């Protein structure tokens, strides 16, 4: 089949077009309610073209999930072995993850819909294993920062959560409240605040006791 060579307007391949139309339909109608017929009609191709690339609706769904995760894994891998201080590497990883997120908002919406939504009959995709991996990269970077004396002695998990919280909230706001958008620069500012502390300096003696 020569369809691999077919390119649509703007240099998008037929394969890419099928993926984009599938995301769009899954988001608007839900995975369960979307048919192969609707996907191929939206992409302007015949059924055998979809079958050739993806096998079926499950196949196109799984390919979407895998591609999204693969790109984030590449970023994670490069962060693990990057040069620079822990703070630099954490900020760089967050910036790159945020940029990838911004470039793939419809895909993230689909992932959220499958992850948080009601059962829709979509094939199993192991989001949890992937999230655990992502978390572990932060644990590694923070651990290296503590070992190097760059970050404070303390609970590495807690530090990783503080950082991941900033990354998550910057993405959530972008999805749900674009009018309050933090953006990538804002995310970097929030991360620096977390490194430096929100409390005013000099500290008034002792810890923040609360009732």
Judged by CB under 8 A, the chain residues 105 through 144 that form the site for a second copy are 109, 112-113, 115-120, 128, 131-132, 135, 142
Q: How far is the CB of 68 from a second copy (least distance, A)?
A: 16
Q: How far is the CB of 56 from a second copy (least distance, A)?
A: 19
Which residues touch 183 (CB under 8 Å, ≥6 apart)?
170, 174
Contact (CB, 8 A) for 98 and 167: yes
- Is residue 88 at the binding interface for a second copy, with CB under 8 A as the rule? yes
- Is residue 29 at the binding interface for a second copy, with CB under 8 A as the rule? yes
Cis peptide before 202 (omega within 30 of 0): yes
- Is residue 159 at the binding interface for a second copy, with CB under 8 A as the rule? yes
Give the side-chain half-sphere CA count within 13 A for 75.
21
Contact (CB, 8 A) for 34 and 25: yes
- Is residue 193 at the binding interface for a second copy, with CB under 8 A as the rule? yes
Stretch that binds a second copy, among 4-12, 67-75, 96-104, 159-167 (CB under 8 A): 159-167
Q: How far apart are CA 155 and CA 134, in angstroms?
A: 18
Q: How far apart are CA 156 and CA 39, in angstroms?
A: 46
Q: How far is the CB of 206 from a second copy (least distance, A)?
A: 11
Residues 168-187 that bind a second copy (CB under 8 A): 168-170, 172-173, 176-177, 180, 182, 186
């Amino acid at each position: 089949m020569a369809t691999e060579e077919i390119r649509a307007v703007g240099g998008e391949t037929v394969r890419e077009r099928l993926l984009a139309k599938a995301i769009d339909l899954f988001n608007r109608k839900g995975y369960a309610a979307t048919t192969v017929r609707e996907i191929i009609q939206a992409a302007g191709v015949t059924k055998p073209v979809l079958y050739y690339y993806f096998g079926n609706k499950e196949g196109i769904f799984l390919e979407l999930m895998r591609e999204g995760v693969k790109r984030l894994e590449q970023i994670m891998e490069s962060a693990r072995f990057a040069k620079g201080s822990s703070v630099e590497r954490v900020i760089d990883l967050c910036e790159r993850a945020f940029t990838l997120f911004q470039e793939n908002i419809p895909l993230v919406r689909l992932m959220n819909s499958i992850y948080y939504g009601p059962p829709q009959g979509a094939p199993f995709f192991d989001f949890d294993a992937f999230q655990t991996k992502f978390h572990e990269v932060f644990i590694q970077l923070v651990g290296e920062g503590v070992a190097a004396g760059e970050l404070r002695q303390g609970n590495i998990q807690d530090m990783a959560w503080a950082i991941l919280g900033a990354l998550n909230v910057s993405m959530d706001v972008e999805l749900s409240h674009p009018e309050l958008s933090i953006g990538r620069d804002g995310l970097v500012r929030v991360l620096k605040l977390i490194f430096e502390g929100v409390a005013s300096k000099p500290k008034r003696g002792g810890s923040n006791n609360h009732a």
